[in-house]
Amino acid sequence: MSFYESTKRVVDVVATCAGLVVAAPLMLLVAIAIKLESPGPVLFRHMRLGKDGRPFVMLKFRSMYQEAPVLQVQLLADNEIPGPVFKIRSDPRITRVGRIVRKYSLDELPQLWNILCGQMSLVGPRPPIPDEVARYEPWQRERLAVKPGLTCTWQVSGRSDIPFDEWVRMDIQYVRSCGLLQDLKLLLLTVPAVITTRGAY
C-alpha cells in the first residue's frame, strides 16, 4: 500500500467515525420519516462493484417505494441519460421523503459504514451497479481502478446533469491524478454542491 493509500485510509476512518457520531441524530430522524411514510425497510441494500470490480453490498436510506425494481422495467424508455445508467428527473418510484433525502444526499449517509468497513472511501468514483458495468466499453472500466467513494469530480460538477461519457472521463482523470490535496479539494467542493442541490435527482 502506497503512502497515499495508507494516509487516505487513516483519514477515512477518523473522519467517518466523527461523521457517524455527528450525523447520528439526523440519521435517526431520516429513518423515522422513511418508516412512517411507506412500508418497507429503512435501509436499501444494493449490490455494487468496488475497486477492481469486487462486489460489495452498499447501504443507502430507502428513497423509493418497494415496487421500484418492477416499475423501472416499465420506465426504461423514459431514461434521460444516454449510456448504461438509469435516471429520470421526475422519477415516480421516489417517495416524498425520498425526494428530500436524495435532493440533499442524505440517503448516502449509511455509506459511512461502508467506508468504515474499507469497501469505500470518502473520495472516489461512485460505485456502479454490476449490470451497468457489464455494458461498459473497455475504456470505461478504468474508473474501477480505485476504491469507490461518497464524492468525486462528478458530484461537484453537476451530477446527473452531466452526460455519462463525460462523467466517466471525470472519474478516469481522478484515477490518474488522485492525491491527498485533490481529495481535500473535492471534499470542500462537496459542501456547496450538496447545498445548491444542482443535478440532484
pLDDT tens digits for 8-37? 999 999 999 999 999 999 999 999 999 999
Give the pLDDT band of residue 194 (cuts 50, 70, 90).
Answer: confident
What is the C-alpha to C-alpha distance for residues 108 and 14, in angstroms, rounded to an integer? 18
How crowded is residue 40: how many other Cβ atoms within 10 Å of its Cβ? 16
**pLDDT value at position 80?**
65
Closest CA to 183 of 125, 124, 115, 105: 124
What is the C-alpha to C-alpha distance for residues 136 and 128, in angstroms, rounded to an integer? 10
pLDDT tens digits, residue range 109-146? 999 999 999 999 999 999 999 999 999 999 999 999 99
Asked if pLDDT for residue 153 goes beyond 60, the answer is yes
What is the C-alpha to C-alpha distance for residues 136 and 164, in angstroms, rounded to an integer? 11
The segment with the largest mean pLDDT, out of 49-53, 76-80, 163-167, is 49-53
**pLDDT value at position 71?**
74
**pLDDT value at position 67?**
77
pLDDT tens digits, residue range 52-90? 999 999 999 999 888 777 777 777 666 767 777 777 777
The model's pTM is 0.89
